[in-house]
Chain A
Amino acid sequence: GAVVSQHPSWVICKSGTSVKIECRSLDFQATTMFWYRQFPKQSLMLMATSNEGSKATYEQGVEKDKFLINHASLTLSTLTVTSAHPEDSSFYICSAPDTGAQYFGPGTRLTVL
């Protein structure tokens, strides 16, 4: 199957700082990528759809000014958590579609102190 990478895998930051998470499709191109948030022992919650060459589409209740998404190329989407606070601590996962299915990155664990 297709391979999606995420970087970093784990990040710890201080409250008030910004953190950027990268999502890359390694062996295919993706005009669309998805960003999810997952709390412990829960399912994935779609945050936004990243679109190459246009603005991201955010799900209801997701603050677009707090979670900035940029789909810079056909293989790269970034999620920036701005002015992070402890409540933003979570596991963030990206995915990209290829050959009829979505393939997921390994996730990024964000801890905000």
Chain B
Amino acid sequence: AQTVTQSQPEMSVQEAETVTLSCTYDTSESDYYLFWYKQPPSRQMILVIRQEAYKQQNATENRFSVNFQKAAKSFSLKISDSQLGDAAMYFCAYRDGDNAGNMLTFGGGTRLMVKP
């Protein structure tokens, strides 16, 4: 079974600085997707960024980017120019294959605090 591990229960960053959240996963599949979701205090899960395993290029979405190391099975999220609104729980998630109807496996989450 696939597993996703987030080794940092909590992280903090100064406003306007950069922070990196770690995620590792274990799978024997070659075709899969990886995601980062944000869950603010409202508890609404918001898709931040996605990465297809077959793509070597790291995904970026504005201030959010990933460092995808397929051989190391590592998928870290970098948040640049951190803002107060970035404070939230961040979950790394894994999905087999390219069928969006396949289930997600979540990591335990990292709570990000942003200091003004």
Contact = CB atoms under 8 A, between A and B. Distances in A.
A107 B100 contact: no
Given A46-B103, A100-B98, A93 B91 contact: no
A31 B104 CA distance: 16
B47 to A, nearest CB: 5
Given A43-B109, A100-B98, A101-B35, A107 B104 contact: no
Interface string A92-103: 010101111111
Among B33, B45, B95, B108, max chain A CB count under 10 A is at B45
A43 B107 CA distance: 7
Interface of B: 33, 35, 37, 42-47, 50, 91, 95, 98-104, 106-109
Contacts of B104: 34, 46, 95, 102
A58 interface: no
Interface of A: 1, 31-32, 34, 38, 42-44, 46, 49, 91, 93, 95, 97-104, 106-107
Nearest to A106: B44
Contacts of A46: 103-104
Q: Which 10 A-B pairs have the closest CB atoms?
A: A97-B100, A104-B45, A32-B101, A43-B106, A97-B101, A106-B44, A107-B43, A43-B108, A100-B100, A43-B109
Nearest to A103: B47
A38 B108 CA distance: 11
B48 to A, nearest CB: 10
Given A1-B47, A43-B91, A101-B47, A34 B42 contact: no
A104 B103 contact: no
Nearest to A100: B100
Contact of B100 (A38, A101, A104): A101
B103 A34 contact: yes
Nearest to B93: A102
B9 to A, nearest CB: 9
Contacts of B46: 104
A44 B91 contact: yes
